[in-house]
Amino acid sequence: MNYLYKIVLSFFLFLSVSGLKSQTYNCNLYGSITTVDGDIYKGPIRWNDEEVFLTDIFNSQKIENPYLKYLGNKDRSGNDYKRSNRWFNDEASQSSRYARKFECRFGDIKSLSVTGYESVNLELNTGKFINLSGGSNDLGNSVWILDHELGLIKVAWNRIDLVNFFTPDVQATESFGDPIYGKITSTIGEFEGFIQWDHDERLLSDKLDGRSKDGDVNIPFDRIKKIQKTKYGSLISLSSGREFELKNSNDVTSQNRGIIVTISGVGRIDFTWKHFLSLELLPIPKGKINCYSEFKKTERLYGKVTTTKNDVYEGVIVYDLDEAMDSEILNGLNDNLEFSVPFKNIKKIEPKSYDYCLIELKTGENLYLGDQTDVSSTNAGVIVFKGENEYQLIKWTNIKLIEFM
């Protein structure tokens, strides 16, 4: 979407104090695992060998959509299903058409009850439950826990009954490690936050792989000062001052799956190798050592919807006939950069055409996002509940502005 390329975010969150010393990050996943036999393990948690922080995202698929019943016998164009397309006559087919993925940050989850081989009953921190199945490798794999007495245990999915997340009474003495933090320089600007390299490495103890002119090397991120893209690989500068050009690995070439930066108050941005120029590793600023303030109690989406005819409807909002909680996540693209923004960070959504929207964040920053269901004409529309039995279903093409309150 080249017409979106003009949007450059001004998230230049530079350190206000230079030379900050590294400090222990205390936003790690923590909780307990109860097995099918009733055994309980307690300590820091890692989701298989991937997600380990409260800001990491849990992905799955909703089993059912309770808001389909509000469509009645009409499709999004106001046509009767039986007249417009026989395909819609089948309830399962209708559910398939409006099937949506589910995403939220681990910090918004209270518990996960395993209900099947790849299914769970997820409890948000409000006590609301959502049945989920499949959709990603977040279901069906082992869950790791650093038990306070036994050490690391990798509990198989079929042995898990319940995973509870909570804040420890005192900071855990053990963890899976501290996160990678740094400043990405890209073709559209500079962005500072927590880093996932190649969609994989996220801890300072993780290693960057590549081949130097003298052989294979594996460099822990805590020894790296800067990674700079070159024509055929990457120039790696170490904190000691040594430099190596590395090639022949998906960590350091165009085979890289993407560099994700997580920014407080915004969400996640997934940079392709095409946009990436360099990464400078930095100490974590003092103000970002603790992220618990980001995970306030989940609320229902509430706000005002103004139509293209300037009618205004205020009430509880269901977005895209699916997202109903502010812990859920809006997805969109900007010139192949993928943005994942929690609704609790969004102030306004203004459709600009069939293919993209202006998203105003509560921080005051603006994003132009498109090409995905949440922010394009494939959006199923918005329901505004004005009372228990009073609601308004508004087609996406009739929406002028959505303001969250």
Q: What is the pLDDT of residues 119-160, one digit of tens each?
A: 999 999 988 999 999 989 999 999 999 999 999 999 999 999
> Global pTM?
0.86
**The pLDDT of residue 179 is above 70:** yes
The band of 384, judged by pLDDT with boundaries at 50, 70 and 90, is very high
* Residues 363, 329: Cα–Cα separation, whole Å: 17
pLDDT at 96: 55
User: Regarding beta strands 30-35 and 329-334, do their DSSP bridges make them parallel or antiparallel, or are they unpaired?
Assistant: unpaired
Lowest mean pLDDT among 17-21, 291-295, 302-306, 307-311: 17-21
**The pLDDT of residue 236 is above 80:** yes
pLDDT at 361: 96
**The pLDDT of residue 317 is above 50:** yes
pLDDT tens string 13-23 = 433 333 334 45
pLDDT at 25: 79
- Distances in Å between the Cα of 223 and the Cα atoms of 131, 203, 204, 249, 281 are 43, 12, 8, 19, 10
Most confident of 12-16, 174-178, 290-294, 310-314: 310-314
pLDDT at 98: 64
According to the 3-state scheme, what is the secondary structure of 354-387? CCEEEEEECCCCEEEEECCHHHCCCCCCEEEECC
The band of 97, judged by pLDDT with boundaries at 50, 70 and 90, is low
Contact 362/346 with Cβ under 8 angstroms? yes
Q: Is 327 helix (H, G, I), strand (E, B) or coil?
A: coil
pLDDT cut 70: percent of the chain above it: 87
Amino acid at 262: T
pLDDT at 23: 54
The band of 12, judged by pLDDT with boundaries at 50, 70 and 90, is very low
**The pLDDT of residue 80 is above 60:** no
* Residues 398, 401: Cα–Cα separation, whole Å: 9
